[in-house]
Chains A and B, each alone.
Chain A
Amino acid sequence: DVKVTQSSRYLVKRTGEKVFLECVQDMDHENMFWYRQDPGLGLRLIYFSYDVKMKEKGDIPEGYSVSREKKERFSLILESASTNQTSMYLCASSFPSAYVNTGELFFGEGSRLTVL
């Protein structure tokens, strides 16, 4: 089974703090994604990566950055957390759809971040 592991299920941080959210997958997937989920807004894509050291902006990248130094690990960084970044953050991974004819995503358990 595919396993996507997010390092922290629940975090509470203060405004202005630097926050790291870590995600590790064990299926040798090339693609990795960070989404945030908010009530009434569904899932919105923050950043994604198709390969090591590559990153692409999603729909809402402002206030976030990412790092992908190893294939299995994709980190989301909030340089200076703000209260409007309080949310559920979901990491996902997949093979390139051109390889396996499906872009099906496999999700981690989520990290619920509260910024005070």
Chain B
Amino acid sequence: ELKVEQNPLFLSMQEGKNYTIYCNYSTTSDRLYWYRQDPGKSLESLFVLLSNGAVKQEGRLMASLDTKARLSTLHITAAVHDLSATYFCAVEETSGSRLTFGEGTQLTVNP
């Protein structure tokens, strides 16, 4: 059974600071997805990582995938308040299109 763990689950940071969210998973996969969820809203796709060593960047967020370590990171650079949200990683099972989600990281960026 595929397990996906994120840490930290809660993150409070100051504007302007850098931080990294980690996503570990338990079985072989080379496809990983990051989503953002604002309070009361649904999930919005952020990054699609489809191979070992994949790196994607959008604004102050950068995601990477190391399939050998079964680890993905979401790095936040110079955080701003607008980044406050819950971030989920999701891993695709090698046998098909099914995704398993992590518990989510609730990020709060304080002025």
Contact = CB atoms under 8 A, between A and B. Distances in A.
How big is the B interface, by class? 20 to 34
Contacts, number: 62
Interface stretch (B14-22, B57-65, B76-84, B92-100): B92-100
Interface of A: 31, 33, 35, 40-45, 48, 50, 58, 90, 92, 94, 96-98, 101-110
B92 A97 contact: yes
15 contacts: A33-B98, A35-B101, A42-B104, A45-B98, A50-B97, A90-B43, A92-B43, A96-B97, A103-B33, A103-B99, A105-B33, A105-B43, A107-B42, A107-B43, A107-B44
Given A97-B96, A103-B96, 11 more contacts: A31-B97, A42-B101, A42-B102, A44-B101, A92-B43, A94-B97, A97-B92, A102-B48, A105-B90, A107-B42, A110-B42
